[in-house]
Structure 1
Amino acid sequence: MTGSATQGIKTVLHPVSDLAKATAVYAALLGVEPTTNESYYVGFEAAGQNIGLVPGGGSRAMTSPVTYWHVPDIEAKLAEVTAAGATVREAAHDVGGGRLVATFTDPDGNVLGVLQDH
């Protein structure tokens, strides 16, 4: 198989219905306070992982957790997965600080994410 290897799953976003309650649970689980605590997103960094809480699934209307595979070239990876049968759900876009994210579905409809840091 050719193409670029990922850097692993380092980011998982969870849709939540009550941000305050979820924040307390995840802080207890992870043993750390949030590094980002906004009304639209709460983020934690623990053991090299980025765990995000998105109220109501956010603009993406997430209905289940989405894992984000970190990649060196998001456009190249999207081209590789679509050539293999995936369907782009959300095109690559900047979410701040030069970080690019995109989502796609596998042939069974599972939502997967890719993330490229600046």
Structure 2
Amino acid sequence: MLRGLTTVSFFADDVTAAARWYTELLGIEPYFTRPAKGTPAYVEFRIGDHQHELGIIDSRFACRPRSEEAGGAVTYWHVDDVETAFERLLSLGATAYEEPVERGPGFVTASVVDPFGNVLGVMYNQHYLEVVGR
């Protein structure tokens, strides 16, 4: 039934600021922007080995009011070095949600809350590298 990740959607009250922050983090500009009354309502990045989509949506379009606390599902993005990625995220203004943790041989996770209230997970995953290597 589930065939693959299509889009991870984050919300932000200031999409322009969020787009700048993620441009700095990712080193690329969004490839798609949809304005609403002059300001971006949605921006989208294609990232990683499979060009997965990371979309940032204006909070006013959220289907439910956003909680003041970060939480919910955590999507982990593969990185080659969790500690380095975690420290870079913190240096860009994210706050620690979960410090790096080894989950077992070949699996390390960490997560942060971005400056816009979204949980962003990073993970070193040996199985991911095996799949990409095929």
TM-score (norm 1): 0.46
